């Protein structure tokens, strides 16, 4: 095992709009597609060199259509709203998992500061979504 955790399993649960990640250090995270979309590491979302970041709104219904491996260090996530730029490297995914609640609350705060309200998703999560 390296000093940086690497995923041993990545499972997309399309019906519940969740990406499940298991890492070689035993960590296990379930990340909503919406969180992944609004925290995309792309320049379109983050801005260039940290400037002009764009707040993502109305992403409550976004889902993942495809996940493409990029070498042995990242994945490219293709979202159903057409967004597919930015590479989610293992360290970034691990950080999103560890700090999911912090990032989610920061997102909600930024929405509120911009005068935006997060709408409820139009889909209903299934009771048991064990199949992708």
The domain ranges of the chain are: 7-113
- Please give the pLDDT value at position 126: 66
Q: Which residue has the tokens 């064990």?
A: 130
CATH fold group of domain 7-113 = NE0471 N-terminal domain-like (3.30.2020)
Tens-digit pLDDT profile for residues 41-87: 998 888 766 667 889 999 999 999 999 999 999 999 999 999 999 99
pTM of the model: 0.89
Chain-wide mean pLDDT for the chain? 91
Average pLDDT estimate for 109-126: 89
**Residue 118 structure tokens:** 């997060």
Structure confidence at residue 124 as a pLDDT band (50, 70, 90)? confident
**Hey, which residues does 13 pair with through a beta bridge?**
18
Mention every residue, 6+ apart, whose C-beta is less than 8 A from residue 63: 14, 17, 33, 79, 80
Q: List phi, psi (to 5°) of 44.
A: -60, -35
- Please give the pLDDT value at position 20: 98
Query: Is the CB of residue 22 less than 8 Å from the CB of residue 4?
Result: no
């Amino acid at each position: 095992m390296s000093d940086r955790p690497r995923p041993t399993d990545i499972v997309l649960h399309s019906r519940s709009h969740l990406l499940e990640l298991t890492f070689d250090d035993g960590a296990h995270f379930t990340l909503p597609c919406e969180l992944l979309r609004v925290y995309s590491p792309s320049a379109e979302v983050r801005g260039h060199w940290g400037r002009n970041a764009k707040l993502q709104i109305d992403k409550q219904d976004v889902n993942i259509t495809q996940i493409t491996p990029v070498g042995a260090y990242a994945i490219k996530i293709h979202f159903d709203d057409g967004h597919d730029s930015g590479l989610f490297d293992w360290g970034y995914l691990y950080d999103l998992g560890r700090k999911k609640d912090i990032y989610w609350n920061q997102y909600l705060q930024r929405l509120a500061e911009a005068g935006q309200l997060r709408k409820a998703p139009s889909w209903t999560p299934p009771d048991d979504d064990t199949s992708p």
